Structure 1
Amino acid sequence: MFDYPTLKVIWWLLIGVLLIGFAIMDGHDMGVGTLLPFVGKTDDERRVMINTIGPHWDGNQVWFITGGGAIFAAWPLVYATAFSGFYWAMLAVLWALFFRPVGFDYRSKIQNATWRNVWDVGLFIGGAVPPLIFGVAFGNLLQGVPFHFDNFMVVTYTGTFWQLLNPFAILTGVVSSAMITMHGGIYLAHRTEGAVQERATNAATGAAIVAVVAFIAAGVWLHAGSIEGYVITSAIDPAGLANPMAKSVARTADAWWRNYQAQPLLWALPAIGVIGPLLAVVLSRAGRTLTAFVLSSLGLAGIITTAGASMFPFVLPSSSMPGASLTVWDSVSSHFTLGLMFWAAIIFTPIIIAYTSWCYRVMRGKVTVEHIRANEHSTY
């Protein structure tokens, strides 16, 4: 069995893996939904797009559900604080996601243009809103969230929903939205042909450029020093129990860059975040769509891990009481809980990956307009 400090780091890594898995697997579903009104010009073309993700979208939600459950079990203080502070934002995500199951199930039940157009709007909302909000949330994490604990360790959030929509957070929201849209476009290029494939490739190209430019701009904004990061200034006990108030934290302009200064190899992460999307669209335009999808996935992983590596060991910094900031060391569950969850993850994660891979292999191939027309009652 691993010791307590090691398990704390392992679960930081595992939750990062779950977030990346969610971005890659459910992200391309959301990207296709975001592109639905723009790439699909006719009802048949939109049905082609929907049928590329229809058999898989609900299975891909496992990454989202598992990630939320892992945060609840491994980081209970983070879960409680984040869902208190981001309550309305998370509720907006759930409201948007409600459109997906009913949209997939009911869109093609009636052959009526108005009926189908309404569900298309719903699928667009379900695909476009969550990535935007998740990106805005990450932007607020980098700036710090206004919360504090009282003497009884009861958390109080002092911000408002509209404070979340600050300029830097909107920029990170653009990064998130653009990278997911790019990822969906690359996936569409792999699963379709003809006009839909061409439009999807063009959309992915534009989204990749926006994602890379916005990602670099966010990094420059942080490096300029106008957004202060967080650094622990007191001794910490990595093997200690959860007690976020037992440390001192200072805010400095270079805090989010210190891990990169200490470990130069970490610069590979933002490099992958920039190079991956650009190479993905180049290969997609050259017809090598499967390799492009892999590189697109690496690009998403690079962008997400860049944020995680910058903030480590912080998970949820507090702007109103820096000393109450939640970190990998002081916001976790017990040693026994982390150990039990670790073995559950070791057993079930490979099973999920193997089953998902098998499903995609069985249902591989192009989805065409001819196929849609020939299988009117067996497709979405």
Structure 2
Amino acid sequence: MIFDYEMLKLIWWILIGVLLIGFAVTDGFDMGGLAILPLVAKTDDERRVVINTMAPHWDGNQVWFITAGGALFAAWPLVYAAAFSGLYWAMLLVLFAMFLRPVGFDYRSKMQDQRWRDGWDWALVVGGAVPALVFGVAFGNLLQGVPFQYDELIRPSYHGSFFALLNPFALLCGIVSLSMLCLHGATWVQMRTHEAVEARSRFYARIFALVCFITFALAGLWLTVGIEGYQIVAMPATDAASNPVLKEVLKAEGAWLSNYANYPLTMIAPALGFLGLIGAYLFASANKAALAFLFSGLGITGIILTAGVSMFPFVMPSSLVPNHSLTLWDAASSANTLMVMTWAAIIFVPIILGYTFWCYRALWSKIGVSFIKENNHSLY
């Protein structure tokens, strides 16, 4: 083998992180832009301006989410099984909210009735805001531990409820996620529009940059002093066959910060998050929307990396039986499966990226109300 089993496990932890970041950076501006639709667009024509900046791209961006879900199932089947059984209702909420986007884009302009269009516009707002919020809530619960355990046959059982997921720390993480993507959406709309919509987007980009900066800092402080982390005390060799119940794990205050203490270079992750948010605020204020969008993407990358570095090597900690927590070392598929997936990623990911960049370049332009009126029957 070119890569040994231990290396393959680490590679797929990195690749799934890349897929999540790709999803947040690309599909994130769709969700964020739709979530702020009533704030930046006041008339029907202005709402069509905002919608037409993202409608041609949303389905391609959604591929990142689908690919991440498929990779999670193939690379970490134990995580997939535990998460989709225990967090079933939260997953359904996200999926049903996402269903509103394609039908909203396609149906809102089918009729001239304003009530019809207003109804679909609110459906698009829900389709953007709800997933953005729930994804953050999910990460907040992962950092606290999920109430699941395994029996003697390695069958997972979940012992929580949907409303238990809505605890204060998880909701704070949800606000971080929602404000982060609203910032990203605002900088995208600012970059792609003219006139009043652009001015409002610039204003709200600064608002959401501040909200995200403050809540991200508060979440980090809360994680430092109020949330117990997880620490591996003993476990089998990292290249051994996957078995999640053969290790010893302890919970301790400040354990989520141990990676930063042991590997100071990892401090780049939270620094990148804060730097990206500051840069997005400053460049949005200076009306340099392209740079604001770039720094917003850097902020998203830093925030997601911060969560990943804090939890490493844990993927889904168990609050019921810490020893049953899932890590990248004991939740992975076989070596052959990971090897096939690695070669597939090496071949197809560059092709997908190339096609994605071509689509953005081909459809790139600034859109204003006059453009909508001139192309009334050929746009969303």
Mapped contact 2:273–2:300 kept (Cα < 8 A): yes
CA–CA separation in structure 2 for the residues paired with 1:333 and 1:137 = 23
Equivalent residue number for residue 236 of structure 2: 236
1:271 and 1:302 in contact (8 A); partners too: yes
Equivalent residue letter for 1:209: L
Q: Give the match for residue 332 of structure 2.
A: 332
Residue by residue over 1:214-247, the C-alpha shift from the partner in whole angstroms, topping out at 9 and shown as x without a partner, is 00000001111x2100001114311111100010
Offset of 1:284 from its aligned partner?
2.1
1:165 corresponds to which residue? 166
Q: CA RMSD in A?
A: 0.7
Provide the residue aligned with 2:219 in structure 1.
218
Q: Deviations over 1:84-127 (max 9, x none)?
A: 11110000001101110100001111111000000001000000
Deviation at 1:348, TM superposition (A): 0.9
Match of 1:278 in 2: 278
Q: In 2, Cα distance between the equivalents of 1:72 and 1:93?
A: 18
Does the aligned pair in 2 maintain the 1:192–1:367 contact within 8 Å? Answer: yes
Report the secondary structure of 2:234's partner residue.
coil
Q: Distance in 2 between matches of 1:127 and 1:204?
A: 16
Distance 2:322 2:62 in 1: 34
Question: Partners of 1:138 and 1:120 in 2: how far apart?
Answer: 28
Instruction: Work out the CA distance in 2 between the residues paired with 1:373 and 1:121.
Output: 22
Letter of the structure 2 residue corresponding to residue 228 of structure 1: E
Write the distance in 2 (CA, Å) between the matches of 1:285 and 1:213. Answer: 18
- For 1:265 and 1:2, locate their aligned partners in 2 and report how far apart those are by CA, in whole Å: 25
Q: Distance in 1 between matches of 2:284 and 2:362?
A: 23
Aligned to 1:257: 257
CA drift at 1:281: 2.2
Kindly provide the amino acid, as one letter, of the partner of residue 237 in structure 2.
Answer: D
SS in 2 for 1:231: strand
Alpha-carbon distance, 1:163 to partner: 0.6
Q: 2: distance between equivalents of 1:134 and 1:53? A: 21
Residues 236, 247 of structure 1: 8 Å contact kept:
yes
Q: Distance in 2 between matches of 1:5 and 1:100?
A: 40
Distance 2:360 2:287 in 1: 20
Q: Tell whether the 8 Å contact from 1:201 to 1:281 is kept in structure 2 after alignment.
A: no
Structural mapping, 1:125-274, within 5 Å: 125-224=126-225, 226-274=226-274
- What's the counterpart of residue 81 of structure 1? 82
- 1:345 aligns with 345
How many angstroms apart in 2 are the aligned matches of 1:134 and 1:235? 30
Q: How does 1:44-83 map to 2 (within 5 A)?
A: 44-83=45-84
**2:13 matched residue in structure 1:** 12
Q: Is the CA contact 2:213–2:274 (under 8 Å) kept in the aligned structure 1?
A: yes
* Aligned-partner SS, 2:250: strand
Q: 1:186·1:281 contact (CA, 8 Å) conserved in 2? A: no
Distance 1:147 1:163 in 2: 13
Once residues 70 and 330 of structure 2 are traced to their aligned partners in structure 1, the CA distance between those partners, rounded to angstroms, is 19
Unaligned runs of 5+ in 2: none
Question: Counterparts of 2:279 and 2:257 in 1: how far apart (Å)?
Answer: 26
Tell me the residue number matched to 1:110: 111
TM-score by length of 1: 0.99
What residue is the counterpart of 1:361 in the other structure?
361
Deviation at 1:288, TM superposition (A): 1.8
2:53 and 2:189 in contact (8 A); partners too: yes
Partner of 2:309: 309
CA distance in 2, matches of 1:235, 1:168: 30
Q: Residue 109 of structure 2 aligns to a residue in which SS?
A: helix
Aligned letter for 1:331? A
Shift of 1:278: 1.6
In structure 1, distance between residues paired with 2:197 and 2:48: 11
- What amino acid is aligned across from residue 342 of structure 1 in structure 2? T
Does structure 1 conserve the Cα–Cα contact (< 8 Å) formed by 2:234 and 2:247? yes
Sequence identity of aligned pairs in percent?
A: 56
Give the distance between the partners of 1:352 and 1:203, measured in 2 at CA.
32
Distance 1:337 1:356 in 2: 27
**Given residue 138 of structure 1, which amino acid in structure 2 is its aligned partner?**
F
Secondary structure in 1 matching 2:32? helix
- Note the C-alpha offset of 1:79: 0.3
Deviation, structure 1 residue 287 = 2.5
Distance, in Å, in 2 between the alignment partners of 1:372 and 1:136 is 37
Letter in 2 for 1:153: I
Give, as a single letter, the amino acid of the residue that structure 2 aligns with 1:184.
Answer: G
Q: How many residues align?
A: 379
Question: Counterpart of 1:108 in 2: which secondary structure?
Answer: coil
Q: Distance in 1 between matches of 2:65 and 2:42?
A: 30
Distance (whole Å) between structure 2 residues aligned to residue 35 and residue 63 of structure 1 = 22
* Runs of 5+ unmatched residues, structure 1: none
Residue 280 of structure 1: CA displacement? 1.2
